[in-house]
Structure 1
Amino acid sequence: MLTIGVLKEPGKETRVSLNPDIAASFVKNNIKVLLEADAGAKAFHSNQQYEGAGVQIANRSEILTQNDILLSINLPDHETLNNLKPGSVIIGVFQPLFHVAKMEELAKKDITLFSLDMLPRTTRAQAMDVLSSQANIAGYKAVLLAANVFPRYFPMFMTAAGSIPPAKMLILGAGVAGLQAVATARRLGCVVDVFDTRPAVKEEVMSLGAKFVEVEGAADASKAGGYAVEQSEDFQQRQKAKIAEHAAKADVIITTAQIPGRKAPILITKEMIANMKAGSVIIDLAAFSGGNTDFTKDNETIVENGVTIIGDSALYATAPSDASKMYSKNIQNFLKLIIDKDGQLNLNFEDDLVKGACIAHEGKIVNERVAGMLQAV
């Protein structure tokens, strides 16, 4: 019988790889599911709920020695990996382009490593696209966080004591997080401007009631999977001027621009922040990879010239129940690619999604992008 093991996540991580409903679907298909005790507690799923779904609660050592597929959103620690059953498959979100040396180390172990953030960004992959499902939550939460920190109202109010103008929000990046931020900000009554280097997203932005800020001459980003791409020096100068103009008028800025495997581009400079209004708020969702401002620090709040800059690339963790629900569904859809109808492991590397997400197999790095970065070191 195939065995799926689910580990308790380390540190401040609030999500769990499988919620009870998705775990139950595997149990019904004659797949054994082992869950480390309290792995779902921070996502408000009790051990009793899992047991009711047919999941067996086990200690960490039992899971490591019995599993065929190990689910851990974050990369397990060195000790855990050393005690892992040989031949195991590990699935999570490991950001391999930022941890290439670690990936090389792991490749030498007898494990197969899948990182779902490396899935090709294709239509077929949407059902298992963990980046999009989690970014949706992050965009929503970024606006709510800004509303809590911002010292004034978001919507327009007309009262006997006077009128309050609506807050002006600038959103940099119209990917999944950016578009959800637009929708949420508009529902809260903000006037929203959106900047993105991809002209193709203009229609989506406008359909949500925001204004699209255009800078002509952007490099084609249609094949970048929703990420930013590096731009020419001339474009960067014109982009900088346009962003500076809008930043000076903005009450709130939400930034989302990232480049795979590279430091996030600086879009809001210290000069721009110096010209922003006191009390303004910046929420930087690209904080993990360096941030989109000169002052961003991940998991920290910085106040500069009266502007509050919050770096948080894991805002989805503030909605752990729904974040886990969507992540679990992504996992379920990916596992359909590597578990056959008889409930047996079947690693079909002819499938472009299986191949694209696989980082290490049979003692070596098999992902071309990660291998290329190793060669460049």
Structure 2
Amino acid sequence: MVYVNVGVPREVVEGERRVGLVPETVARLVGEGFGVLVESGAGWDYNLDEHYEEAGARIVGGAEEVYGESDVIVKVAGPSLEEVEMLREGQVLICFLNGPQEPGLVERLAERGVTVFSNEAIPRTSAAQSMDALSSMGSIAGYKSALIAANTLGKYVPMLSTAAGTTKAANVLVLGVAVAGLQAIAIMHRLGANVFAYDIRPETKEQARSLGAEFIDSVDERKKEEEDGWEEYEPQGWRKLMVALGFYSFAEPPRDEYIVEGEEEDEGSKEPERWSREKLEADQRLVRERIKEMDIVITTALAPGRRAPKLVDREMVESMKAGSVIVDLAAEQGGNCELTRPGETVKHGGVAIVGPVNLPSTMPIHASQLYARNMYNLLRHITEGGEGGPRLKLDFEDEIVSAMCIAHGGEIRDEATRRALEESRSGGG
């Protein structure tokens, strides 16, 4: 007897070529007592119906059967209006559904009594890492952004020596050092670029450096300027005599007059958890100056549930060299660049501004594999084993369930989504 049926419909959003579960994860679920229904053709041309059947899934002819017989629906993109009408009370839907950007859709799902789990709402905790589809897809987006930038740039990324002379390595700046940004840094470093990075969070500095990037930091810049006049200590007078006689301890500078290398920092000078407003403003001025030297800028800053922050304004674009490239991974949420247009490449003053959308879907094989593994772990988290097979267990005291479940029991649970809905009704959205 099967207690939980998991349904995998074919994605209907234009350009979406991922699938909610792949045969690998279907086999694991079936082995643990889940039933799995897959709409014919859901795996496109890389996961065929026969592969799902071999894994133990039941192939059905249309979406109506999938929605009609499943307890849990696993999708990638949010449901269309037609799909919403196929969902029923008590059913669980797992997908990417940014509530604050789609409050009306969440409201309709809540009205139908659907329990909605949003992948965008995953908490950033160690316990949730194995279910974090947002990070899995972000890594793919960062990888593809580097390739798009290299392909758009009209010159080599690495330094190359040829019979005709040597070409300089491209200068690349990555703004936003989260999962996508770190992947973009790593790929550009492997391609041989001079990579620079910036983020407002102090902890990202060492992360970027560990992957080969130079972190843009106004404090470091000031230290370099101060060190230009630095001179190595040389003992003088009687100290020089004592060193000549073999008393080498006198070669060290007096502690009350000099700072000894390696002893510059004490507990009182450790980097604070948050940088000061003054430092952030100085950093922004430095980024504005350094962007003039860049051949490629990749922006990756996203704020869940909000419009993307503007990091590159028109003036900064106009200060860049002709032939340089900006790839804006935040295009779908308004863009980090003032001139970005989602899904288009804009030319402004000789600079190409690329606004790609749904990059993970351009790598559907690995994107689906990673997504399916995240979904497998999430399904196991919201069910419990028992005699006869797994059963749904929604524990709203659990941090992951509480954060990801944005609608349940006819109500919108996510505060940001409720606020966005109120604003849209009042005309202030």
TM-score by length of 1: 0.92
Establish whether residue 329 from structure 1 lines up as the match of residue 373 from structure 2.
yes
Distance 2:293 2:7 in 1: 51
Q: What residue is the counterpart of 1:47 in the other structure?
A: 49
Decide which moves more: 248-257 or 296-305: 296-305
Distance 2:118 2:104 in 1: 15
Letter in 2 for 1:5: G
Q: What residue is the counterpart of 2:321 in the other structure?
A: 277
Distance 2:403 2:127 in 1: 13
Letter in 1 for 2:332: F
Q: What residue is the counterpart of 1:367 in the other structure?
A: 414
Q: What residue is the counterpart of 1:56 in the other structure?
A: 58
Distance 1:221 1:332 in 2: 36
- Cα distance per residue 1:189-240 (max 9 Å; x no partner): 0000101101111111111111001257x99679xxxxxxxx96x6675444
Letter in 1 for 2:9: L
Distance 2:195 2:135 in 1: 22
| Contact 1:283–1:311 (CA under 8 A) maintained in structure 2 | yes
Distance 2:6 2:331 in 1: 33
Q: Which one has a bigger Cα radius of gyration?
A: 2
Letter in 2 for 1:357: M
Letter in 2 for 1:349: F
Distance 2:374 2:122 in 1: 11
Decide which moves more: 84-93 or 322-331: 84-93
Relative to structure 1, the CA distance from residue 219 to residue 314 in structure 2 (aligned partners, 3 Å threshold; closer, same or farther) is farther
Decide which moves more: 331-340 or 187-196: 331-340
Identity value in percent: 39
From 347, 357, 363, give the equivalent of 2:394: 347
- Cα distance per residue 1:124-155 (max 9 Å; x no partner): 11111111111111111111111111110011
Secondary structure of residue in 2 paired with 1:283:
strand
Q: What residue is the counterpart of 1:226 in the other structure?
A: none
Offset of residue 262 of structure 1: 2.1
Q: What residue is the counterpart of 1:228 in the other structure?
A: none
Distance 2:274 2:343 in 1: 29
From 325, 329, 332, give the equivalent of 1:288: 332
- Cα distance per residue 1:248-272 (max 9 Å; x no partner): 1000000011222222121111111
Backbone CA RMSD of aligned residues = 2.0
Letter in 1 for 2:316: M
- Cα distance per residue 1:332-354 (max 9 Å; x no partner): 11111111113111111121101
Q: What does 1:1-377 align with in structure 2 at a 5 Å threshold?
A: 1=2, 2-10=4-12, 11-41=14-44, 44-58=46-60, 59-215=62-218, 237-342=281-386, 343-375=390-422
Q: What residue is the counterpart of 1:225 in the other structure?
A: none
Distance 2:118 2:351 in 1: 36
| Contact 2:208–2:214 (CA under 8 A) maintained in structure 1 | yes
Distance 2:25 2:393 in 1: 20
Decide which moves more: 234-243 or 328-337: 234-243
Distance 1:271 1:237 in 2: 17
- Cα distance per residue 1:265-310 (max 9 Å; x no partner): 2111111111211111111001111101111011111111111111
Distance 1:41 1:113 in 2: 25
Letter in 2 for 1:353: I
Offset of residue 70 of structure 1: 0.7
| Contact 1:243–1:267 (CA under 8 A) maintained in structure 2 | no
Decide which moves more: 21-30 or 182-191: 21-30
- Cα distance per residue 1:27-73 (max 9 Å; x no partner): 1122111111111115x111111111111111211111111001111
> Which runs of 5 or more residues in structure 1 are unaligned?
223-230
Secondary structure of residue in 2 paired with 1:197:
coil
Offset of residue 368 of structure 1: 3.2
| Contact 1:199–1:214 (CA under 8 A) maintained in structure 2 | no
Relative to structure 1, the CA distance from residue 303 to residue 219 in structure 2 (aligned partners, 3 Å threshold; closer, same or farther) is farther
Letter in 2 for 1:269: D
- Cα distance per residue 1:170-202 (max 9 Å; x no partner): 000110111111111010000001011011111
Distance 2:422 2:205 in 1: 38
Relative to structure 1, the CA distance from residue 361 to residue 219 in structure 2 (aligned partners, 3 Å threshold; closer, same or farther) is farther
Letter in 1 for 2:342: D
Structure having greater relative contact order (Cα 8 Å, sep ≥ 6):
2
Relative to structure 1, the CA distance from residue 80 to residue 374 in structure 2 (aligned partners, 3 Å threshold; closer, same or farther) is closer
TM-score by length of 2: 0.81
Decide which moves more: 194-203 or 94-103: 94-103
Letter in 2 for 1:307: V
> Which runs of 5 or more residues in structure 2 are unaligned?
220-270, 425-429
